[in-house]
Amino acid sequence: MRRLLWVLLLGLALALVVLIARNDEGTVGNLTTSDFASLAIKITMLVVVGGAVLTLFQDRLQALESALLWVVLALVLVLVYTFRFDVRDSFDRALAELVPGHAATRGRTVEFSRSRAGDFPIWAQVNGVHISMILDTGANSVVLTNEAAKAAGLPLEMVKYSVNVETANGRALAAPVTIDRIAIGSIAERSIPALIAPPGQLKTSLLGMSFLDRLQGWEVRGDRLVLRGYP
């Protein structure tokens, strides 16, 4: 019985991890996250009831101990499911502190933690490709490194480097482009004006004002960057 209980606890933990990890996508395999959570609860309750029935045929003291364990397990499951969004938010916030650039998402609000270097690293999806960026409110536009632009599928062979920009290496010419889609956490914007830096002129892509101006609002609160998208 104890072994079965530990197996069940492990299964619940794995189900919770899957729900947290797949919450933004909204699906787990062919099921929605809500259907997956409902299925996990039904299976667990079935095992709980079956375990309770089995304990009735054992010694009374052992049956009482086992029954109490099952009751506690059921209560924990109900509490975790009830507060699953708070659990996910806490997990996201903790992960954002540990992993630079990870987004802590709640609805249409996305938060990032300041790095030890003092900037705000941001993992964004540019045309569906994960690109590492840093916040740069002094940049009028989103600026991609040449490598990031290539990874995002932008036509480097067709662009013209015709816009003057200031880089860490001095003045340079950048190529104007339009990015089809940029997604950061739960916020996604389309047709974003951007620039592509020449090879070797930029170490990290910049999240500039051409994206920030599309938002409902954004602010820096101490060591946290808060982005708010429109509903």
How many whole angstroms separate alpha carbon 46 and alpha carbon 51? 8
The whole-number pLDDT of residue 53 equals: 58
Do 229 and 215 meet the contact criterion of CB atoms below 8 Å apart? Answer: yes
Environment class of 167 (CB within 10 Å of its CB; exposed 0-12, middle 13-18, buried 19+): middle
Complete edge-to-edge strand list for the sheet that includes strand 224-228: 104-106, 109-113, 224-228, 217-221
Q: How many CA atoms lie within 13 A of 168 on its CB side?
A: 9
Mean pLDDT of 110-133: 91
Q: 4-8, 123-127, 142-146 — which is least confidently predicted?
A: 4-8
Inter-residue contact 133 to 183 (CB < 8 Å) = no
Q: pLDDT averaged over the chain?
A: 77
- Report pLDDT for 101: 74
What pLDDT does 209 receive? 95
pTM above 0.85, yes or no: no
Q: What was the pLDDT predicted at 106?
A: 81
pLDDT at 3: 60
199-225 per-position pLDDT tens digit: 888 889 999 999 999 999 999 988 889
Q: Tell me the C-alpha to C-alpha distance, in Å, between residue 61 and each of 27, 32, 100.
A: 43, 42, 52
pLDDT of 207: 95
C-alpha 228/C-alpha 110 separation (Å) is: 6
Please determine, looking at this structure, whether the domain spanning 101-228 carries the CATH number 2.40.70.10.
Answer: yes
Q: Which of 14-18, 101-105, 141-145 has the highest mean pLDDT?
A: 141-145
* Residue 181 structure tokens: 């889609």
Say what the pLDDT of residue 117 is. 87
Strand 129-135 vs strand 205-207: parallel, antiparallel, or unpaired? Answer: parallel
Quick: pLDDT tens for 13-68: 666 665 555 555 555 555 555 655 566 666 666 666 666 655 555 555 465 566 66
> Which pLDDT value is given to residue 154?
95
